[in-house]
Chains A and B, each alone.
Chain A
């Protein structure tokens, strides 16, 4: 470090400390810029209108998005609509918001050549960095909250505030369901900020707005692929996409919240890690110097090479570590869910189900055609549920089960035993048969 650098960092009276009013000034400066640009200007509008449009489409068609958790219940409870939108938003919406808000935050100054104007004012690089990052995070939080509020409103308007069927087949009262839905959106804020931090990092390192805006989306896609193909717990636990699924546990009975805690740790690690690397990059760089004037794809290619290397590494180590998806967990979860949904089906059909009564069923699950038949995610699980008959003895029903690495599963049963997709209450409208195809979740590591 030269004498000038050392003295500049030290300043005339010792260390130069960050002035928070200046960070606030930078934040207001950045907010004004965001509000003057069309992508960030229309983003709030999209966050409000998209859920309303989605709910309106659901309302006019009879089909349901079955591939998504709570998708089967969108015509039954408005909260299911908000949770389906949360699943979509976690996969695609948050990375898009992150890209639009954070992807241009640093690289925009490179694109427009304005670093030399911004950095010759009264704010230090540290204050400018903090102000920019704070603006991106606040804007992200605002957009996620707006999207969440619009989703809940859209669900309530389109379907209503009826009770919601949970992920163990239990019925959640309207108030409880509303509280859990709000909490789920709240829990998803931290991983959303993780994506924004990733966008800021890509923006700072590549100095390319295109990379900054598309990068989080590609990262989200890669994480989802890892989540699908990797069977080990180690890599899965390190993915932001896992943190975005953490809210699922709140809808199980008994509820489990350890994934939420771990998701918060991972999200904060992403935020801090990305910010530290982005800051080191900005602090060290020469702005508008001959070195930074070099045009071409060299920098972008280097960053791309690092990203591809990281993806390849994660792909190789994706199966490292044991899987915490076991037949025992699935046996217990699917038996309990089946019992709860059977009671619900009977109630829906207008039959009397005595309070406190519970189907004393059991299940045995195993994977078909694989060496490790009792563990791991896959679409080849077969669960046999043993249901007690009224006249003693047991009857059995087989469900084909797809278990995802996050511990959530979809079970499809034989129509001959459990009835068709829609069933009819006596003199009532058709309703979804809860046993035809159902979702559930159980806790997996971490």
Chain B
């Protein structure tokens, strides 16, 4: 159910436009003068370390907490007292439901709450989010985190939203489930739905997001398109273990496009683009230095994130 006419979905109108949004909990500034814009048909990734204010920002947008200052517009209009009335849906943190109801009953109940007729739609949604019929008739109280995430998405989609706000939607999902979730979100975006998702999964962000906003201590420290982020991102970082790390480190200094330093845990940390890394590995081989282990520890997106937020690679 939505209160907005279809003509409001013109590409010029942002699905969500927030400016100067602030929220303080006691002495803690959770969100500090945040500006945010998400266009229809795009997926925006909200990145930031724990406590950066991602979830609070989503809560503000969903109307769960009241802002201390700032302005929000959904599709060019001021927000209604309920997100569903603006064509907005989503969840924050782990979605929670009534444990004594099954997924099917939950969907029927929330459809009833929205005043919509769920006939036929429930099976379609259960199928879309990958909840099998058998599981759909089981009580939600016995669901795993991943199953609740799937049901959370189904409940959010029940109202056919035009803006989807999701807080770490792939948490608790197995790799296949996470890939399916990303595929669903990409499909929704292709159909014109705007998606704003917070995530720690850099691969997921790089995979499906068209724009990225990075938060640190409640403030936006970077925002732009994914293409721009990748262009500005430093080289990905790898952990390298060789038969002779000292000689390998010496060799790196003469290798163009390669920066290496000793890793405290033994081995080297190497920052290089793929081509430069290939050349470095070949050079090590020609010097008689065996490569015993080479693993990516930070993709370029992750490296950018770490650079912006002052974090360190795992």
Contacts and interface: CB of A to CB of B under 8 A. Distances in A.
B67 A125 contact: no
A289 B63 contact: no
A120 B65 contact: no
The 10 residue pairs across chains A and B that have the minimum distance between CB atoms? A122-B84, A113-B96, A286-B65, A290-B25, A124-B81, A289-B65, A7-B78, A287-B64, A29-B113, A122-B114
Contact of B82 (A10, A117, A123): A123
Contacts of B222: none
Interface string B34-76: 0000000000000000000000100100111111111110000
Interface stretch (A31-39, A55-63, A149-157, A336-344): A31-39
By size class, the interface of chain B is 35 or more
Given A36-B100, A122-B85, 18 more contacts: A4-B70, A8-B63, A29-B109, A29-B113, A33-B101, A37-B100, A114-B96, A114-B98, A116-B92, A116-B95, A117-B110, A118-B113, A119-B82, A122-B1, A122-B159, A289-B25, A289-B65, A290-B25
Interface string B124-164: 00000000000000000000000000001001100100000
A10 B25 CA distance: 25
A284 B71 CA distance: 18
Contact of B89 (A26, A112, A120): A120
B113 A286 contact: no
A117 B91 contact: yes
Contact of B97 (A8, A10, A117, A122): A117
A223 B159 CA distance: 47
B79 A289 contact: no
Contacts of B192: none
Nearest to B51: A290
B80 A8 contact: yes
12 contacts: A3-B70, A5-B67, A11-B78, A29-B109, A36-B98, A120-B62, A121-B83, A121-B89, A124-B85, A287-B65, A288-B65, A289-B25
B82 A122 contact: yes
A22 B115 contact: yes
A123 B84 contact: yes
B157 to A, nearest CB: 13
B201 interface: no
Nearest to A123: B82
A76 B77 CA distance: 72
Nearest to B4: A12
A289 B56 contact: yes
B155 A117 contact: yes
B71 A120 contact: no
A291 B152 CA distance: 24
A82 B302 CA distance: 74
B98 A3 contact: no
B28 interface: yes
Contacts of A25: 112-115
Contact of B63 (A2, A21, A113, A120): A120
Interface string A125-162: 11100000000000000000000000000000000000
